[in-house]
Amino acid sequence: MKVSSEKLGNCQVSLKVEAEASELEKSLDEAYHRLVSRVSISGFRKGKAPRALLERHVGKDTLLSEALERLVPQLYQQAVEAEKIEPIAPGQIELIQNEPLVFKAIVPLKPEVKLGEYHKIKLKPEPVKIVKQDIEAAIENLRQEHAVLLPVERPVQSGDFATIDIEASVEGKPFLNHKDLLYEVDSNSSFPLTGFATNLLGLNKKEEKTFSLEIPADYSIKEFGGKECPFKVMVTEIKEKQLPEVDDDFAQSCGYADLTQLREQMGTYLRDAAEGKSRRELEQKVIDAVAELSQVDYPPILEDSEIDGFLRDEARRLGYREVEDYLKRINRTEEEVSQRLRPAAKMRVTNTLVLDKVAVEEKIEISSSEVDNRVEEILKKAEDKEKMRKFLAVSQVRQSIEQSLRQEKTLQRLVQIASGKQGKERKGSVS
């Protein structure tokens, strides 16, 4: 075997491997012995047919494919060891020619991170201020949640909830078909299309209307984009929203002693939420600033892996078990969706690598007890605690929790530095 290597950018190395004729011949012979015991050839017991006859029976390409299936990975591993390469994932192998056997492999290497002078970063959280209008707006939202819908005998008005039957198709293909759909008539709504709600205004109960709307060119289902969609809508019931009065009775129905306590608790909730948002924004600004100062190099496979994860999560969130089904539904190719997700994947990979490097520099450590505490926090929220306990006991899961805690603690450390609260203790803690 002959091996040559070439260093590529993005933490990758290219290997070119040329097999000796004897290596290929030995692999072909081994492939023959594996195949001959599985193939029935007239006039011979299994395992006894000569190699030349087996080749004529199954085809030379089949024998060669069987041989290369084992030989290429073996030679790849030998080449990696010979060149003292430490891959972080399997290499991408490309067969150049079969006889003599020559193949190339792009091997992903460990990322390289050179941190900038992140101790000089100075950032502070945005000040949090809750005013009376914020509290009243929150109470109004609560009031909307406690609204009741009452039937009315009049035409549809903005803000009503109409029960409707919809039939809609585009060039013979179903677009939207619903019976007894409860629809909020909001002129600003873009569901199912902009202008749909406006067309319901003034309709009476049991009244039917047909109209057409243009589907946006960038609609999620590509085949419908830019086309005209005819609708047939029947209003079967009209209800208006009745809101409760903001008084002590309303506060008590929400679980508070009176209106005064409701306002106090709402202010506390809003302040906590605003402080949490301010803290998260500061954390993001800090990690962005550290990443901006740093030089981060990594193999593309890390970005691709992150995109795969995004795709799986997005498909499951929308109720699809397989990514392929999700892509088919939105009429997009994997490449198109990957391009949309790539900036987010790049940011996540970069931030993760930067945080890992800072953790090393700052000597951030996570104890077993800290992992145990996080496990208990997760268990408290689990419905099937015994099933979750077994899952959390798996070694890889505990490692994932440890990694997550390390990143949290590292981020806290960076916020301390940026806020000028470095202190003498660098290990910090996670609450």
Phi, psi of 427 (to 5 degrees): -80, -30
Residues in the chain: 431
Q: Is 311 left (phi over 0), alpha (psi -120 to 50) or beta?
A: alpha
The confidence score (pLDDT) of residue 427 equals 41
Q: Which residues are paired to 229 by β-bridges? A: 213
The confidence score (pLDDT) of residue 424 equals 43
pTM exceeding the 0.75 threshold for the entire prediction: no
Name the CA dihedral angle for 409, 414, 419, 422, rounded to a multiple of 10 degrees. Answer: 80
Residue by residue, what is the 3-state secondary structure of the chain? CEEEEEEECCCEEEEEEECCHHHHHHHHHHHHHHHHCCCCECCECCCCCCHHHHHHHHCHHHHHHHHHHHHHHHHHHHHHHHCCCCCCCCCEEEEEECCCCEEEEEEECCCEEECCCHHHCCCCCCCCCCCHHHHHHHHHHHHHHCCEEEECCCCCCCCCEEEEEEEEEECCEEEEEEEEEEEECCCCCCCCCCCHHHHHCCCCCCCEEEEEEECCCCCCCHHHCCCEEEEEEEEEEEEEEECCCCCHHHHHHCCCCCHHHHHHHHHHHHHHHHHHHHHHHHHHHHHHHHHHHCEEECCHHHHHHHHHHHHHHHHHHCCCCCHHHHHHHHCCCHHHHHHHHHHHHHHHHHHHHHHHHHHHHCCCCCCHHHHHHHHHHHHHHCCCHHHHHHHHCCHHHHHHHHHHHHHHHHHHHHHHHHCCCCCCCCCCCCC
Residue 211 contacts by C-beta under 8 Å, 6 or more apart in sequence? 199, 230, 231, 233
Fold designation for 2-109: Alpha-Beta Plaits (3.30.70)
The sign of the CA dihedral 167, 171, 174, 175 is negative
Contact 420, 296 (CB under 8 A): no
Radius of gyration of the chain (CA): 32
Q: How many Cβ atoms sit within 10 Å of the Cβ of residue 71?
A: 21
Separation between Cα atoms, residue 63 and residue 307, nearest integer Å:
37
The confidence score (pLDDT) of residue 213 equals 96
The confidence score (pLDDT) of residue 425 equals 43
Fold designation for 148-242: Chitinase A; domain 3 (3.10.50)
Per residue in 390-422, pLDDT tens?
A: 999 999 999 999 999 999 999 999 999 999 876
Contact 269, 239 (CB under 8 A): no
Contact 300, 8 (CB under 8 A): no
Separation between Cα atoms, residue 85 and residue 79, nearest integer Å:
9
Separation between Cα atoms, residue 399 and residue 387, nearest integer Å:
18
Q: Is there a cis peptide before residue 192, judged by omega within 30 degrees of 0? A: yes
Separation between Cα atoms, residue 413 and residue 428, nearest integer Å:
7
Give how far Cα 408 sits from Cα of 26, 52, 280, 378, 414, Å.
Answer: 54, 64, 11, 16, 10
Structure tokens at 194: 């902009």
Contact 238, 154 (CB under 8 A): yes
The confidence score (pLDDT) of residue 422 equals 63
The confidence score (pLDDT) of residue 394 equals 94
Separation between Cα atoms, residue 344 and residue 296, nearest integer Å:
16
The confidence score (pLDDT) of residue 426 equals 42
- Indicate the domain borders of the chain: 2-109, 148-242, 365-431
Residues of the chain with pLDDT below 70 are 422-431
